[in-house]
Structure 1
């Protein structure tokens, strides 16, 4: 396992959020009991993630920076990074510290937990 492999999955996820295919992507990549802990304090299980992403407005663009991989063993890892995403219009960027916990199941990486911590806007 290397950072590039899991970083590629994160990029696939963000691209799906930009082209409105996030429900399909996360429905297939999340574990059955996986959850997302969002910046607004909401915790969504896999079915709720799929339902919410089906109606979510797309992101226009995104950037991942300061990525770091924490290995928990041969089959589990956490990818931590800063995410910055923009929607259309004058809305400010959404900036958060993000953590994705991956586990290896059936020879594929699956997302067990995704968590966002918003970065306060300054200035």
Structure 2
């Protein structure tokens, strides 16, 4: 399960955050997510891949982020979850956004694809 290793999935998460820092998250996640994938956000909104792809490009850019406490949870031969803590800063926020993240990946044609992403804020 090398393509679903801790290092490989952490690298994908960094690519996603880097895309969000460049205001091109819609393009990145539109390509990464499975057709039926969803993101569950702390405000209770659930967004599907089409909504993410349409809504994240051009969104306010994160200026800095850190990912810590990464943990891989295997979920069978072709799936795994990455759990981590993220802290991110953006110019329009007075304090950093700090949350626990869960990203569930599934192998599709041998390539990890994001099937479910959830943020649980710990800043409120």
TM-score scaled by length of structure 2: 0.93
**3-state secondary structure, aligned to 1:60:** strand
Change over 3 Å in CA distance of 1:75–1:57 after alignment to 2:
same
CA RMSD of aligned residues (A): 1.2
TM-score scaled by length of structure 1: 0.94
Show the counterpart of 2:56. Answer: 53
Report how far residue 97 of structure 1 moved: 0.4
Show the counterpart of 1:32. Answer: 35
**3-state secondary structure, aligned to 1:20:** coil
Task: Show structure 2 runs of 5+ residues with no match.
Answer: none
Change over 3 Å in CA distance of 1:90–1:6 after alignment to 2:
closer
Show the counterpart of 2:76. Answer: 73
Show the counterpart of 1:95. Answer: 98
Change over 3 Å in CA distance of 1:29–1:118 after alignment to 2:
same
Tell me the matched-pair count: 121
1:8 aligns with 2:47: no
Moved over 4 A (4+): none
The one-character-per-residue Cα deviations of 1:25-59 (angstroms, maximum 9, x if unpaired) are 00000000000000111000001111220241010
Report how far residue 89 of structure 1 moved: 5.3
Task: Show structure 1 runs of 5+ residues with no match.
Answer: none
Report how far residue 90 of structure 1 moved: 5.7
Show the counterpart of 2:89. Answer: 86
